[in-house]
Amino acid sequence: MKEETFKRCVYIILFILIMIVFTKDINFFGTNFYEDIKPIEHPESIQVLVNKNNQLAMDYIPSDLEQISLNYAIEGQYLKKEAKEKFEQLSKDASELGYQIIASSTYRSYAYQSQLYEYYIKTKGLEYADLCSARPGHSEHQTGLAVDVMGSNHDYDQFELSVEFPWMKENAYQYGFILRYPKGKENITGFKYEPWHYRYVGVELAKLLYENNWTLDEYYQEHHI
Ligand SMILES: [Zn+2]
C-alpha cells in the first residue's frame, strides 16, 4: 500500500470514530419513542415524568383537582391544588404588569386524550398525530400539572407572538412552571416545539431546569432516576 493511500485510510477511520463518539447519545430518529414503556409508579408526585416511555394508568385521576378562577382561565379548567394556586398567582402578578395569561387547556382524562389522539390520526395521519398529540396515558395533561395558555391575542397556537410570551418564558419558573417542549429539544422530548404548554414541577426544580436549560426528560436522564 502506498504511503498516501495508507494515510487516507487512517484519516477516514479517525473521522468515523470521531463521528461515532459525538453522535452516540443523539437519537436522530426518535426510534425508541413508545418502544420501551414503563408504568408510572408515583403519579401524584409534582415531579412526575410523563413522556412517550412513561405511561399513566388508564384509571388515574389526580386526587386534588381544583377549578381555576375564571379571572385566570376559560370555563371548566382544573389543576392539582398546588399547581392551581401557583398558576393563579402567576397570572395575577402578570395582570398587574398589564399582561393576560389565561389557562385554556389543563387537566384531561385518559378517555378525552384517546378521542383527541384518534381525531389527529384521522385528520392528519399517524406521524403528525405522534408529533403534536400524546397517546392516551402519555399526556402530561392527565397529571393535572400541565397548562396550555393564551395571551392577550386569545389564541394558544399564536402564544409565541403575544406580548406575554417573553415574560412567561423568563418568569414562569419563579412560580414552579417550565416551558415543557422547547425549540431544538424535539429529539429529547418527542414533541414539536409548544410555546403555550407549561408544566408545574415546583419552584425548586423549575429553577434548576431553567438555569441549566434542561428539559424534564434530561433531568431524569442526568440523575438516572
Ligand atoms: Zn399542552
C-alpha cell at 217: 426528560
Give the SS3 label for residue 168.
Answer: helix
pLDDT at 21: 55
pLDDT at 25: 47
d(CA 41, CA 53): 13
Q: Which residues is 79 bridged to in the sheet? A: 66
Q: How far is the CA of 146 from the centre of ligand 1 (A)?
A: 6
Tell me the residue type at 7. K
pTM comes to 0.86
Map out the domains of the chain as residue ranges: 30-108+137-223
Q: Report the percent of the chain where pLDDT is more than 70.
A: 92
pLDDT at 9: 73
Which residue would you say has higher pLDDT here, 14 or 174? 174
d(CA 167, CA 171): 6
Segment (H or E) for 177: strand 177-179
Q: How far is the CA of 142 from the centre of ligand 1 (A)?
A: 10
Among residues 66, 88, 164, 194, the one annotated as catalytic is 194
Q: How far is the CA of 68 from the centre of ligand 1 (A)?
A: 16
Q: How far is the CA of 203 from the centre of ligand 1 (A)?
A: 20
Would the pLDDT of 156 be above 90?
yes
Would the pLDDT of 143 be above 90?
yes
Active site residue 96: no
Which residue would you say has higher pLDDT here, 100 or 24? 100
Q: Which fold has domain 30-108+137-223?
A: Muramoyl-pentapeptide Carboxypeptidase; domain 2 (3.30.1380)
